[in-house]
Chain A
Amino acid sequence: MTTLDTSAPATGKEAARAKFAGYFVGLSRWKIGEVLFWLALVGAYFVPDMNIILLGHILIWGLFAMSLDLLLGYRGIPSLGHAGFFGIGAYAAGFLGKYGWTEPISGLLFAMAIAGAVGLVTGRFVQRVHGVALLMVTLSLNLILYDAVHRATDVTGGDDGLQGIVIDPVLGLFRFDIFGKTAYWYALIVTFLLFLVARALVKSPFGLSLLGARENTRRMIMLGAPIERDVSFVFAISAALAGAAGALLTQTTQFVAPSALSFDRSADVLVILIIGGTARLYGAFIGAIIFLFMRDWLAALSPVYWYFWIGLLLVIVVSFFRRGVLPTLETLLQRLRAR
C-alpha cells in the first residue's frame, strides 16, 4: 500500500507528475467502510436508550488517540506524556471561557494554536533522544506540567478544577444542554473535520515521508528528506489535535480539572491506540469505542476492581494482537476474500 511503483518507464516530466498525482488520488479515495463508519456515528445518536454522554466522550478520546497515532503510528515516536498537550488545550479553552471569551469555535482554534506551538517547541528538542530516554523525557515533561497545574491553586483552582467557565451556544444557536445532545453533534462535527485534516495529511507526500522515516530514518536522510523539520511539524500537528480534544472536553463539560493532564490519561490514550491499532487513524476510534464501553461496563460491574480487567486486556492485546484489533480484523477479512 505504501510502496511507490517506480519500475514503469516514465515518458517525460509531465507523465511522471501525472502518475504521482494519480497515485495520491488513488490513495485518498474513500472506501465504503469509512463512509459506513461515520454514518454509524451519526446513526448512533438516534438509537433509543443510547448513552449520548458516553458517545461524546468516545469521540473526544478517539480524536485524542488519533493525534497520538500521527506521532506514534505514522512517525514511530512514542510519547508517555501526550496528556500534556490535551491538558494545555483543555486549560486554554477553560481560561478563555472563564475570562470573557465565551465563543466556542474561536476558543477551540485558540486552544489548538497554543497546544500546537508548545508541541512545535517540544518536538524541536525531544527529537534528539530515542528509546527509553525519549519515554523518560516525555513522561517527565508531563509530570512537571501536572505538578505545576496541581500546585498553582490560585490560578488553576488546583484539585477543585477551574470553576465558572461559560461557553456560548455554538454559532449562537445551539446551547450546550445537560443531556449532551449539542455536545455530541459539536464533538462529532469537529472530530470529523479534524479527521479530514489528518487523513489528507497522512495520504499526502508528507505522510509518505513520515512513514519512510519511521521505517528507515537513515535512508530518508540520504534521500534528502528534511527529517528534523518533519518531526517538529508532526509534533506540532499532533499536539494541536490533542489540544482540540482537550478543548472539546472543557467546552462540552464546562469544567476542567488537573486530571485532564495526569499521567493516567497519557497511559490510557496509549492503551486505546494500541488496542485499536496504529497507523490506521480509525484504530484510534475503534480503540476508544472498545475501551470506553468496557470501562463503563466493568466499572458498573465491579467499581473497585475494574482496573484488573483493563490490565488483563492490555496484556492479552500485546500478547496476541500485538498490532491491534483493526489490523487483525483486516488480515482476517483479506484471508476470507482470498478463498
Chain B
Amino acid sequence: MTSIATVLFNGVAYGMLLFIMSVGLSVTLGMMNFVNLAQASFSMFGGYIVVLVVQRLGLPFLVSLPIAFIIVGLFSIVIERLVFRHFYGTDDLTQVLLTIGLVFMSISTASYFFGGTYQRIDMPAWLSGQRDIFGLTLERYRIFIVVSGAILSLVLILGLERTKLGGMVRACVDNPRAANGCGLNTQMIFAVTFAIGGGLAGLGGALSANLLGIDPNFPLRYLVYLLIIVSVGGMGTIGGTLIAAVTLGVADVAGKYYFPSFGGFVIYAITIAVMLWRPRGLLGRTA
C-alpha cells in the first residue's frame, strides 16, 4: 500500500515538472498553430542557468528560479521575433523541421560550453533528505515540486480565466482573425504569451535540473514526452495539459516500477489510442 502511494506521489511530482515545461507549448500551439519543439531546449537552458547561478555564483537555489524564468522568457521572445514569426501559417512539417534544427544546434552549443556530462547541483539542506507525512517517507524536494506545481497551475488557470490578458489570450486561441478584427493586437499578445510560455519552460527545466538531471541530450529525451502531453491533452487547454502531464508522469513512473520490461510501450499505446479516438486531444474542441 505504501509503495503504491509512494509511486503515485513520485509520478505526480514528475508529471508536474512535465506540465510546467509543456504548458507554454500547448498555448502557443492552440493560439498560432505553431509546433515549437525548441520548447525542450528552452527547458534545458533554464536548467543550465540554475547550474551557473547555484554552482558558479554560489547564490541560493530559490533565487536561481526567478532568474531562470526571466532570462529564458526574454530569450524566447528574441527567438520568436527573429525566427519563429516568419513561420506562422506554414505547414506543421516545416515548423517541426525548423525547430528540430534549432534543437540540434542547442544540443551542440550546450556540450560546447558545459561538456557532455550531467551537471551536479547542490541543494540547500531544507530541500534535501526525506520527511514523514501521513506515514509515508517522501523526498523533501518532490514535496516542494508538487506544492509549487499545484500553486503554479492554479495561478495559470485563474490568470487565464480572470485577468484581462487571460481573456485576450483566450480570444486569440478561439479565433485569431476575429480577435484581430475586434482591435486586439494579436501579434503583441502572442509575443507576450510566448515569452511567458518560454519562461515557464525555463522554470520547468530549472526545477527538473536536480531530479531529472541536466545534460546536452535533455531536449531529445523529453521532446517526445512534451509532444505527447500537448497532443493528448488538447492544444491550447491548460486543464487538458495538466491532466495529460500528470497521467503520463504517473504512468511512466508506475510502468517503470511495476513492469520494467514493457518500457515506454504503455505510454505510446495510450497516445496512439487517444489520437485515433480524439485527434484534437482529450479536452480539445472538435472542429
Could you list which residues of chain A lie within 8 angstroms of chain B, going by C-beta atoms? 72, 78, 80, 125, 128-133, 135-137, 139-141, 143-144, 147-148, 150-151, 263, 267, 270-271, 274, 304-308, 310-315, 317-319, 322
Contacts and interface: CB of A to CB of B under 8 A. Distances in A.
B234 to A, nearest CB: 11
Contact of A137 (B97, B100, B105, B275): B275
Contact of A147 (B263, B276, B279): B263
A274 B98 CA distance: 11
A315 B268 contact: no
A308 B105 contact: yes
B261 A315 contact: no
Q: Is the interface of B mostly helix, strand, loop or mixed?
A: helix
Interface residues of B, number: 41
B92 A132 contact: yes
A129 B232 CA distance: 13
Given A147-B265, A270-B97, A274-B97, A139 B108 contact: no
Interface in B71-126: 83, 86-87, 90, 92-94, 96-98, 100-105, 107-109, 111-112, 116
A318 B101 contact: yes
Contacts of A130: 279
B268 A305 contact: no
B92 A267 contact: no
Contacts of B100: 267, 311, 314
A147 B268 contact: yes
A128 to B, nearest CB: 7
B108 A78 contact: no
Given A307-B104, A315-B105, A133 B92 contact: no
A140 B228 CA distance: 9
Given A274-B93, A307-B108, 6 more contacts: A131-B279, A132-B92, A136-B275, A143-B268, A144-B269, A310-B101
Contacts of A312: 101, 105
| Listed residue (A137, A306, A310) with the most chain B CB atoms within 10 angstroms of its CB | A137
B245 interface: no
B155 interface: no
Contacts of A270: 93, 97
B93 A78 contact: yes
B29 interface: yes
B92 A311 contact: no
Given A274-B97, A305-B112, A140 B272 contact: yes
A322 to B, nearest CB: 7
B6 interface: no
B108 A136 contact: no
A80 B96 CA distance: 10
Contacts of A318: 87, 94, 97-98, 101
Given A135-B96, A318-B94, A311 B265 contact: no
Given A151-B261, A304-B111, A312-B105, A322 B96 contact: no
Given A305-B111, A308-B109, A147 B264 contact: yes
Contacts of A147: 263-265, 268
Nearest to B281: A133
Nearest to B232: A136
Given A137-B272, A147-B265, A151-B261, A315 B231 contact: no
